Structure 1
């Protein structure tokens, strides 16, 4: 049989805590030890005073009383001292010395008292000494040297004093006390070991908990640093990609040759790939920030499945995969946009990891719920990995981090969005056989609202653009002017204020992060006040941000101003401006 593993070593702090606990226990027992000692001594002297010489009586009682006063004085002094971990050993040593002095007094007194009186007097001395020794087993075993300091002088005196009396009776008593002393010392060692072991376990747990807390804080700080790095990198990357998308749209409205049109299509494709990756990071940051607020209402699933099939069937065809989608008339109660994002991530993941066969998107009614199921014939997922794939940046089969296989955030985003809506997302998979993801949605019993008709067109209006990036400002101005909207642009609030006085805008578009302490929300608020003083009741505004840091997203959302995230497509900006115009006309 293998020996039990040795206990994990304690830190020096934990060892000091054990000593401190021993000191506190010894210190708390001092008044009771002194009181018991005085009571036993008083009772013993009351019985023995008739047979003891007066000198012996006075000397021994005086020494006991003096020792008691010294011990109580030390106890009182230590009680009002702050005992540090560095001093605790010396404080325990003081208790050991005082205990030894008490043992010598009682042991020496017993040797002397056994010389006087009759049998009953001597047996009384022995009995009371045994009682004092027994009490020390309870009060001082927490620290063996302190216990031994009192126990050994008493035990040796009791054994030697009885043996020296010579008769068989006293010799039998002496041998009995000797045997009892051996058992008592063995019991004291065992009890001390148990007490020390329990203290070690207690402080070991506390020590491990403290280390775990430190490591947890370090991990949280590392995770926070990671999020801040991603947010900063994402913001810096979004600026040029955002401007690039706007310039490409302006370029598409100019006369181009066939070759130039082909190059423009390829460039736009590359821009969309970069934009999709940044938007994936944005979706993850929005989930972390807790700014995803589902808009629950009934909707038909089939329209959503049509849109997803139109978007992803060409990608499946390009890989030689069969994309199938079963039609359904079911309606669910949820957020159509967020459900669409979840299913798109699942379908994208299925296409990415399927090399042969195909995938199926279908709906299944289960009593009061509807399950959207995405089946694939891909590589499958081992049971050990089926929880890990929902963690951020976790990918299977992509050690080289091929960008065509994404960032490893798709399933983490899908899982986070499903949880934000209160829906379940489950996985069933067999390696080399394929996988099926199921999104459980509540079945809708309410009538589904009719689809909206085609919205109005953007009417020309003067727009003020505020952005500290000159390239972004230039792209925005070119794009808005191509839509028939005259523009002014400024790098900061200070530049924008005189422009507002010269040409009051009908709409303000501002970046959220501007130079200096003020944000786009602050700039819009001040410009609105200025326009209000000029008689403009309310000026619609948009905030466009490249920030993905959770705290920044929460701040921007709290401003109450419509928020768009870079890189935005021209279509998104167009729809947002149309909605602002429509809302303004309805006021």
Structure 2
């Protein structure tokens, strides 16, 4: 063991512990062997010498046992350099006693000689395993135990004893060398154990650092997303309101470009929101039997404009397939597939189709795009991973689309994957259980804007601590001849309502309000005073904990930014549900 070994003291400590751990077996063996030797040699007429020798062996054995008990009481607080010397010295003392037996009980009588040789050889060999962790300890026993007997053989100075002494000497050397090899193996094992422990500690630390970085990232994205969603929400509604005023104005084209830019920003923010929902486990699958054709056609129609801007042909292959899945989540998976295909296809086409595979339906999205190297076909599903976008072109998104698709696939227990060839295109797929057309349900009806419950003459109570959001929502509602009472908290809202003598037809409340209060608390407080007024939570939070809290409230949740059409449709549904109730 090299002096510069950083684990030297640690290894020495472990060697010391091993010597004392093995000591009981050594002592049991010594007591049994010494008693056996005395019993076999008793007929030689050396009874007194044998008994005195056996007494010395047992006294030493008792002392070693007492020392071991004292060592065990120290626990981990012991000096390995001192205690390993203690172990070596006691081992040497035991070796001296056995060496004494090899001389005192030596006899040329063949039977006595065979017995003595056998017992000494057994002790030397047996000590190898019990003292293998520390060669000096083994040598301290083996040499004093054997060398007196070997010397006595040479003293006889006859050919037979010369051969016996030589064989015994070689035998001892072989065992010492074997013991040294065993010690090296033990030391290497100890060193590897501590290196592994250090590696595990380092990996644990790195994991903890990575987890803290991930938490910090999530908090940063949640805070940044919330702060961005507030002004974006205001811009979205103000642009929608302006769009109604400029329907036939020459500047309508410029406004359309602004709306298109806002649409791109909303998609980026919604990608962060979908990722946060997944991390918050705030998505619950609601599978049912559903026809694929309307779902695929809807995705194709909604994304056709994006494809046309790039000169791409986008098509859906005809299908009569019925599947069993959550249609909303499956649509989100496929929408991300198609949007990804459009982004990474410079020319050509995007094709959506289905294949039957046993009791499964595999939905495929083919493109003629740049393709994906084999080495990246698994990493493309990782969070924030983007292929071929080192400049982080915002037009290509955040690298969350495929991560969201993969996560939703796991949630639905649907197999998803990709087959791709660089320069020729890619095929992303999701495999869904086949459905039963006899269990199809009608699509849930949704009240469209301007439908059964118009907003004209209705009163909406808005609670939001952001002045710009209150102003934009008020402006939007005024276009629909809908009165708005806006306040920053529930107490102010209640005072205004009492002063005007008005009862709201619906409540829209932001989730995060001032003074650490929430929209849920505001709505509950108002409903306690006003009765069961329909209410919806409007939130810009993407922190997983906040999403889960809002979801657990039981109120309908809308995420900022939402368009004027979405707001109008939601309010109409709320009020019509109240009428039906």
- Work out whether 1:75 is the aligned partner of 2:68: yes
- Work out whether 1:470 is the aligned partner of 2:464: no
CA apart distance, 1:119: 6.5
CA distance in 1, matches of 2:310, 2:24: 87
Q: Tell me, yes or no, if the aligned pair for 2:414 and 2:431 is still in contact at 8 Å.
A: yes
Change (3 A) 1:128 1:516: same
* 1:80-114: CA deviation from partner (whole Å, max 9, x where unpaired): 22124x73443333212211222233324533444
Q: Name the residue aligned to 1:457.
A: 453
CA distance in 1, matches of 2:302, 2:113: 106
Q: Tell me, yes or no, if the aligned pair for 2:458 and 2:483 is still in contact at 8 Å.
A: yes
Change (3 A) 1:299 1:29: closer
Q: Tell me, yes or no, if the aligned pair for 1:509 and 1:543 is still in contact at 8 Å.
A: yes
CA distance in 1, matches of 2:376, 2:33: 73
2:89 is matched with which residue: 84, 87, 97? 97
Kindly report the root-mean-square deviation, in angstroms, between the aligned alpha carbons of the 2 structures.
Answer: 3.1
Q: Name the residue aligned to 1:25.
A: 18
Change (3 A) 1:414 1:150: same
1:408 is matched with which residue: 393, 399, 414? 399
CA distance in 1, matches of 2:61, 2:413: 71
Aligned residues: 569
SS at 2:353 equivalent: strand
Q: Name the residue aligned to 2:422.
A: 431
* 1:390-443: CA deviation from partner (whole Å, max 9, x where unpaired): 222222221111111221222222222333333333322222222222333324
Q: Tell me, yes or no, if the aligned pair for 2:350 and 2:365 is still in contact at 8 Å.
A: yes
CA distance in 2, matches of 1:233, 1:292: 22
Change (3 A) 1:82 1:523: farther
1:348 is matched with which residue: 328, 336, 339? 339
CA distance in 2, matches of 1:241, 1:554: 23
Q: Tell me, yes or no, if the aligned pair for 2:38 and 2:51 is still in contact at 8 Å.
A: no
CA distance in 2, matches of 1:133, 1:365: 75
Q: Tell me, yes or no, if the aligned pair for 1:18 and 1:203 is still in contact at 8 Å.
A: no
Q: Tell me, yes or no, if the aligned pair for 2:102 and 2:146 is still in contact at 8 Å.
A: no
SS at 2:437 equivalent: coil
Q: Tell me, yes or no, if the aligned pair for 1:493 and 1:523 is still in contact at 8 Å.
A: yes
CA apart distance, 1:194: 3.6
Change (3 A) 1:330 1:64: closer
Q: Name the residue aligned to 2:168.
A: 177
Change (3 A) 1:66 1:305: closer
Q: Tell me, yes or no, if the aligned pair for 1:103 and 1:153 is still in contact at 8 Å.
A: yes
CA apart distance, 1:505: 3.3
Q: Tell me, yes or no, if the aligned pair for 2:290 and 2:435 is still in contact at 8 Å.
A: no
2:137 is matched with which residue: 129, 146, 158? 146
- Work out whether 1:391 is the aligned partner of 2:391: no
* 1:119-158: CA deviation from partner (whole Å, max 9, x where unpaired): 6556544443333222212321222121111111112212
Change (3 A) 1:263 1:28: same
- Work out whether 1:574 is the aligned partner of 2:571: no
Q: Name the residue aligned to 2:520.
A: 521
CA distance in 1, matches of 2:62, 2:321: 91
- Work out whether 1:539 is the aligned partner of 2:533: yes
SS at 1:560 equivalent: coil
CA distance in 1, matches of 2:352, 2:32: 90
Q: Which moved more, 1:454-463 or 1:253-262?
A: 253-262
Q: Name the residue aligned to 2:179.
A: 188
CA distance in 1, matches of 2:549, 2:413: 25
SS at 1:191 equivalent: helix
2:486 is matched with which residue: 486, 489, 508? 489
Change (3 A) 1:186 1:312: same
CA apart distance, 1:565: 0.5
Structure 1's unaligned 5+ residue stretches are 1-8
2:371 is matched with which residue: 369, 380, 383? 380
Change (3 A) 1:40 1:562: same
- Work out whether 1:332 is the aligned partner of 2:326: no
CA distance in 1, matches of 2:122, 2:418: 72
Q: Tell me, yes or no, if the aligned pair for 2:225 and 2:269 is still in contact at 8 Å.
A: yes
CA distance in 1, matches of 2:9, 2:280: 44
Change (3 A) 1:369 1:159: closer
CA apart distance, 1:371: 3.5
- Work out whether 1:446 is the aligned partner of 2:442: no
Change (3 A) 1:135 1:426: closer
Map 1:220-369 → 2, pairs under 5 A: 220-254=211-245, 258-366=249-357, 368-369=359-360
Change (3 A) 1:276 1:10: farther
Q: Name the residue aligned to 1:136.
A: 127
Change (3 A) 1:67 1:456: same
* 1:324-377: CA deviation from partner (whole Å, max 9, x where unpaired): 333444443333333322222222222221222222233444554444332222
Q: Tell me, yes or no, if the aligned pair for 1:389 and 1:395 is still in contact at 8 Å.
A: yes
CA distance in 1, matches of 2:410, 2:125: 65
Change (3 A) 1:242 1:121: same
2:552 is matched with which residue: 558, 567, 582? 558
Q: Tell me, yes or no, if the aligned pair for 1:10 and 1:204 is still in contact at 8 Å.
A: no
* 1:290-329: CA deviation from partner (whole Å, max 9, x where unpaired): 2222333333333333333333323323222223333444
CA apart distance, 1:566: 0.7
Change (3 A) 1:128 1:565: same
CA distance in 2, matches of 1:517, 1:16: 56
Structure 2's unaligned 5+ residue stretches are none
